[in-house]
Amino acid sequence: MIVKYTKILFGIAAIAAISLVSCQPSTTSTSKKSQDKRVTDLISQMSTEEKVGQMTQITLSALYTDGQLDLEKLRYGIVTKNIGSILNVNGLPLSITEWHQLLTQIQDIATQETSLKIPILYGIDAIHGTTYTQGSTLFPHNIGMGATRNTDLVGQSAKITALETRASGIRWNFDPALGIARQPLWSRFEEMYGEATALSIAMGSAAIKAYEEDGLDQITAVASCMKHYLGYSVPLSGKDRTPAYIPEAQLREIFLPPFIAAVNSGTSTVMINSGEINGVPVHASKYYLTDLLRGELGFEGLAVTDWEDIIRLNYRHHVAPTNKEAVKIAINAGIDMSMVPQDYSFYDDLVALVDEGEVPMSRIDEAVYRIMKLKFDLGLFDNPYPEKAAIANFGKESYQEVALTAALESITLLKNENGTLPLDTTAKVLLMGPGANNLGALHGSWSYTWQGQDENQFADETLTLKEALEAKIGVANVICNTTGNFDDSENTNIAFLNSHAAKSDVIMLVIGEKSYAESPGGIHDLNLADNQIQLAKAAYATGKPVVLLIAEGRPRVISSIVDGADAIMQLYRPASQGAAATMEILFGDYNPNGRLPYSYPRHAGDIILYDRKHTEEVTEFVPDSYGGGGYNPQWEFGHGLSYTTFSYGEIKLDKSEYTTTDKIQVSVEVTNTGNRAGKNSIDLFVSDHYASLTPSFKVLKGFTKENFEAGESKMIRFELDSDDLSFINSEGEKTIEAGEFSVRIGDKISTFRLK
């Protein structure tokens, strides 16, 4: 029996129907609902030029001359070109005072020198804490937050980010990133919550609610931005802003649900995928931007492009022969605001297109309505200036405690042979590796600067691992030659290692990646850099115990050095309190409990994910010999060690047979069988035994995290429903099929039947 519901049309015909040049006005949920009279009254007073200006977003650096804000350029942009939005910063982070001065200058011109006095909407990429602001709090990147399995921590971090961002005077945050981290070559991997859809749904929704739940006009909130809609995170080449090829069932089953959840959680804005899906640039797709996003998901908020993405329809994607044609395609498809961002070509072209009748005024009014509505909701028309009362919410000591907790719960112990960890504080440590004295490697992208590589911009109290280790065990017990330059060859000087190894009790190597953001972080090879591999091998040859600390934004392949290490700890990008958190774990003050949010690959060319198909479980290197081991990562999704141990009782179900209307009650007793307290993350997976479309081996459907005292047992409970047993079939329909299913928790499996 097949039960079908929520029919979704997304087949070949739907792709073929994507309109790249349609001039027809879109019909969306916005036009069907009662509109805000404040907004409609304002729009009725606006000229074409004023409307198009509101759809234009310019980067701040375009308004600078010789490193200084050029008031004539600013005045030209706001008064002459009517721009409605500005983003970014001119290179270096600003103090709260400098932000207030800058935004006051901007709003003075907007509200005093224009006829309609429309305030500017300012946006920023505060994606793991408030960036571009001196002294702000930075939290672990999303990939580390996925390892915490703690949605409360995600919410707390987002709330603090909202407080500090609003304190700077900015009310629009381009976060959270809701892609699924399934292409480890991709340079934005660290911005995702992990390879499981369920992680992105839960974590992203928690962030959105924390950003917006107090009300956008309050000094404790910012407008969130779900991004990058849709399918951005799996470019086939692994390079940023390049094409993805995603079967329709995968698109709807894996990549779309976090955006559905984001809409249901109340996100105000969306940023669009810079790449293509199956040859269709998302910025050019009326299907993705209007039919699916507006019509099906019911999203009513503002849709903004990413950097220069409309122009790139011409010179990168080659679907538009001119920039003007690119503007026509994108706006008719459903874009509301163009992050142009360096010039006024978008403005000039769109004004001309409206005058020529190539873009209908109804489409312009629809876009401007969404922009004006957001400005009203944010309270900009009541007070466009930075709110003085918000300053008190910046830089509180308690924020560092949340950052420390987030780093502690994210860091994942991957290997610990013979109880190498925790270390004794009397140990003498030889510390080497390019990340040992480098702050950028601990923070990653969007860390005070875009690339996060400027070591001078981090707060004075931010510690490198070297400084944190010296503070923990004393300078005299640390032997280290590393510099703040990640690429300095001295950091991997084997001669130094060999000459000092005998003086140490343990060798600690900090390996991984330097900081990077977006395309500059592109790589051709997932293997860790050879100089770091050789350093590790030389360390093993000394006969001393070796601990590897990995600071990286994506899982670089280290299979050639895993066996020789006595302990391995994955730090991800733990940020401002990452060094302190690492020391607490290394020396046993804190019991590690992070769990991998992705499958850590063993080989660069062998990327198989936790929810693989059953055929991926098979190896057939000898013809007609069907051996197992197809899913053979270095460490499985969900792997993470502790300084204690946990055991799982048999999984208990309230029934053995269910109907599609039943709730499925799942319980399992978990026991801390070790001699110290610790937190344990419990992942629940569902497996469909047989289906009309090949089922996944297992799919994450729930997770929770609990603290256990030594010897303590707890009954952990989950509830599933029919939606957790559904899949998208080959006809684009959400489907449930009768048959056998399994629930997996820890090393236990329980089977039931769906009638």
Please give the pLDDT value at position 11: 33
Q: DSSP assignment, residue 649?
A: -
Alpha-carbon gap, residue 374 to 378, rounded angstroms: 6
- 253 DSSP 8-state letter: I
Which residues share a beta bridge with 557? 527
Residue type, 540: Y
pLDDT over 90 (residue 620): no
Distance CA 485, CA 654 (A): 58
Dist. CA 654–CA 295, nearest whole Å: 39
**AA identity, residue 474:** G
Asked if 49 contacts 351 with a C-beta cutoff of 8 angstroms, the reply is: yes
In this predicted structure, the answer to whether residue 481 has a pLDDT above a threshold of 50 is: yes
Question: Which helix H or strand E contains 507, and what residues bound it?
Answer: strand 506-512
DSSP 417-469: GGG--SPPTT--EEEESTTTT-SHHHH-SSBSBSSS--GGGS-TTPPPHHHHH
270-306 burial, b for 16+ CB within 10 Å, e for fewer? bbbbbbbbeebbbbbbbbbbbbbbbebbebbbbbbbb
- Residues 482-534: tens digit of each pLDDT: 999 999 999 999 999 999 999 999 999 999 999 999 999 999 999 999 999 99
Alpha helices in 450-576 (DSSP H): 465-473, 494-500, 530-541, 559-562
- Mean pLDDT across 202-209: 98
Q: Are 670 and 706 in contact (CB under 8 A)?
A: yes
Tell me the C-alpha distance between 216 and 223, whole Å: 6
Residue 351 and residue 48 in contact, taking contact as beta carbons nearer than 8 Å: yes
Distance between first and last Cα of the chain: 8
pLDDT digits (tens, 9 = 90+) for 329-346: 999 999 999 999 999 999
d(CA 487, CA 484): 9
- Say what the pLDDT of residue 58 is: 98
CB 346, CB 353: distance < 8 Å: no
What CATH architecture does domain 644-754 belong to? Sandwich (2.60)
Of 26-30, 409-413, 713-717, where does mean pLDDT reach its minimum?
26-30
pLDDT-derived band of residue 33, with 50, 70 and 90 as boundaries?
low
Q: What is the average pLDDT value for the chain, to the nearest integer?
A: 94
- pLDDT interval class at 16 (50, 70, 90): very low
Residue type (1 letter), 383? N
pLDDT at 9: 32
Judged against a pLDDT cut of 60, whether residue 362 lies above it is answered with yes
Residue 26: is its pLDDT beyond 60? no
Of 107, 48, 118, nearest in space to 75 by CA: 107
Mean per-residue pLDDT for 596-604? Answer: 97
- pTM value > 0.75: yes
The topology (CATH level 3) of 401-586 is Rossmann fold (3.40.50)
Q: Is 718 within 8 Å of 666 (Cβ atoms)?
A: yes
* Omega prior to 592 cis, within 30 of 0: no
Percentage, residues of the chain above pLDDT 70: 96
Range 2-20+28-41+52-58+67-79+86-393 classified under CATH 3.20.20.300: yes
Percentage of the chain exceeding pLDDT 90: 93
- Name residue, tokens 């991800």: 572
Cite the active site residues: 306
Residues 683-709: tens digit of each pLDDT: 999 999 999 999 999 999 999 999 999
248, two tokens: 């329709």
Query: What are phi and psi for residue 176, nearest 5 degrees?
Result: -95, 160
Q: Are strands 338-339 and 56-59 parallel, antiparallel or unpaired?
A: parallel
Three-state secondary structure string covering 594-616: CCCCCCECCCCCCCCCCCCEHHH
* pLDDT at position 5: 31
Q: What angle do CA 464, 466, 470 make, to 5 degrees?
A: 120
Is residue 13 scored above 90 in pLDDT?
A: no
Q: Where are the domains of the chain?
A: 2-20+28-41+52-58+67-79+86-393, 401-586, 644-754
Residue 345 CB coordination number (10 Å)? 17
pLDDT in tens, 281-309: 999 999 999 999 999 999 999 999 999 99
Q: Are 106 and 122 in contact (CB under 8 A)?
A: yes
Contact call for residues 182 and 190 (beta carbons, < 8 A): no
Instruction: With beta carbons less than 8 A apart as the criterion, state whether 275 and 201 touch.
Output: no
- Given pLDDT bands bounded at 50, 70 and 90, which one contains residue 30? very low
Give the DSSP letter string of 689-755: S--SSPPBS-EEEEEEEEEE-TT-EEEEEEEE-GGGG-EE-TTSEEEEE-EEEEEEETTEEEEEEE-
Cα separation, 671 vs 449, in Å, equals 45
